[in-house]
Amino acid sequence: MDFTLSDEQRMIYEYGKSLVKQFDRAYWVEKARQRAFPAEMYQQAADDGFVGMMVDEKYGGAGLGMLEMALLQEGLSNEGIPLLSLIVGATMSMSLISDHGTEEQKQAYLPGACRGDIRFCFAVTEADAGTNTINVTSLTRSVKDKGRYVLNGRKTFITDAECAEYMIVVTRSTPLKEAQRKTDGFTLVLIDTKVAGIEVHPIDISIEVPEDKYTVFFDDVDVGPENIIGEVDRGFEILFESLNPERIIISAVCCGLGRYALNRAVEYANERVVFNGPIGAYQALQHPLARGKTEIEMASLMMRKAAWLFDRGEPCGSESNMAKYASSEAGIYAVDAALQCFGGNGFTKEYGIFDIYPIVRLFRTAPLNSEMVLNYIAERDLGLPRSY
């Protein structure tokens, strides 16, 4: 066993400490209030070579892995400045193109993406997924033009759909009833977000983050072979590969934000005096901080293990799900413990502690809720029967 980071990994993990000097928490919060993409900060990360972290050097990337990407995000989040668009963009979309794109697609999208010139959103979720297969976003053969397709349907909770240049859309190309297995018949489509037939509507969300969420409508959108990632009808297998990375990088955000909140609380509790001496000496405030720290550090270890396994090409489903479950719980616990130290001040915009809460809380529910994560662990890791 070896629990040390390499020098390069440590440098990546600590990148947040230098980036925060340029783009601090106040910058991030301001962008979040405006619901404006943190373009300058993103561009700086791209310029510093971090957006293309997982892309082959041949296409302008750093040729590193999931562990490095997770360390980057964890380090940024430690400073209170997570780059949430790295989740669906640099981690998920760019890896899909790297691993399953054609040479043309790689050359078309990856160098620009690594430079920060183009960004991706990722459209999976549908409002009634699983129940109303008729409305599932569908990809059908075009009647007008042989060899082309038509995309119709609707996706929801799509992060960055307005500002991203491209979108990867998970579609059903063979109806459920004609598919042999439920997971057959999916196709991934990479499409320009500005083409005819796409409309996006912002969703008004009770969480202030710079990255906004949208409902996306597809109305007879033209799709050609150049827009297909991988093979037609084989999209599920490809999609599946990106689920563990998504869980891993979300874990990194939760661990980092939890640490950020704890650090803020420790500073405050060491200074704030109400009765005798600093409030940090009261066990009722102190012990939850210590427990929060413990849970964050353990979740972080599990997250790194999952990333490390992923990079080795080994199964990492259990570890990724455990990390996602534990990190969101640890993040929630840590932010709440921090908040309680600040008293009423924690709820003000001036101190901004409560404002960290909705983000970590969201990750108990999205993109996959903790109940589904526990179902996974119960079935796949423990060997219990399916419960739903």
Q: Which is nearer to its own copies, 152 or 375 (CB)?
A: 375
Does residue 319 contact residue 282 with C-beta atoms inside 8 Å?
no
Residue of the chain from 205, 219, 226, 231 that contacts its own copies (CB under 8 A): 205
**CB-nearer residue toward its own copies: 231 or 267:** 267
* Strand 186-192 versus strand 138-141 pairing type: unpaired
Amino acid type, 275: F
User: For the chain, how far is it from start to end, CA to CA, in angstroms?
Assistant: 38
Question: Does 179 participate in binding its own copies (rule CB under 8 A)?
Answer: no
Which amino acid, 377? I
Binding mask 29-68 for its own copies (x = CB under 8 A): --------------------------------------x-
Secondary element (H or E) of residue 219:
strand 213-223
Residue 11 touching its own copies (CB under 8 A): no
Min separation Cβ 228 and its own copies, Å: 28
- Residue 299 as a binder of its own copies (CB under 8 A): the answer is yes
Of 155, 164, 352, 363, the residue at the interface with its own copies (CB under 8 A) is 352
Spatial distance between the Cα atoms of 167 and 92, rounded to a whole number of angstroms:
12
- The SS3 call for residue 196 is coil
274 binds its own copies, rule: CB under 8 A: yes
Indicate which single residue of 185, 280, 317, 331 sits in contact with its own copies (rule: CB under 8 A): 280
In the three-class reduction of DSSP (H, G, I as helix; E, B as strand; rest coil), residue 141 is classed as strand
Query: Token pair for residue 347?
Result: 């709820």
Given candidates 37, 304, 333, 360, which one binds its own copies under the rule CB under 8 A?
304
Q: DSSP 3-state assignment of 79? A: coil
Chain positions 309 to 338 lying near its own copies, rule: CB under 8 A, are 309, 322, 325-326
Interaction residues for its own copies, span 207-266 (CB under 8 A) = 207, 262, 266
199 beta partners = 217
Report the residue number, 106 or 293, with the smaller CB distance to its own copies. Answer: 293
Is position 104 an interface residue for its own copies (rule: CB under 8 A)?
no
Among 289, 335, 338, 360, binds its own copies (CB under 8 A): 289
Q: Give 17 or 287: the residue with its C-beta nearer to its own copies.
A: 287
Measured distance CA(185)–CA(179) in Å, rounded = 6
In this complex, which beta carbon is closest to its own copies, that of residue 180 or of residue 206? 206
Please report whether residue 25 would count as binding its own copies according to CB under 8 A: no
Backbone angles phi, psi at 121, to 5 degrees: -115, 170
With CA atoms as reference, report the closest residue to 230 among 189, 193, 178. 189
The answer to whether 181 contacts its own copies (rule: CB under 8 A) is: no
Angle at 167 between CA 161 and CA 171, to 5 degrees: 115
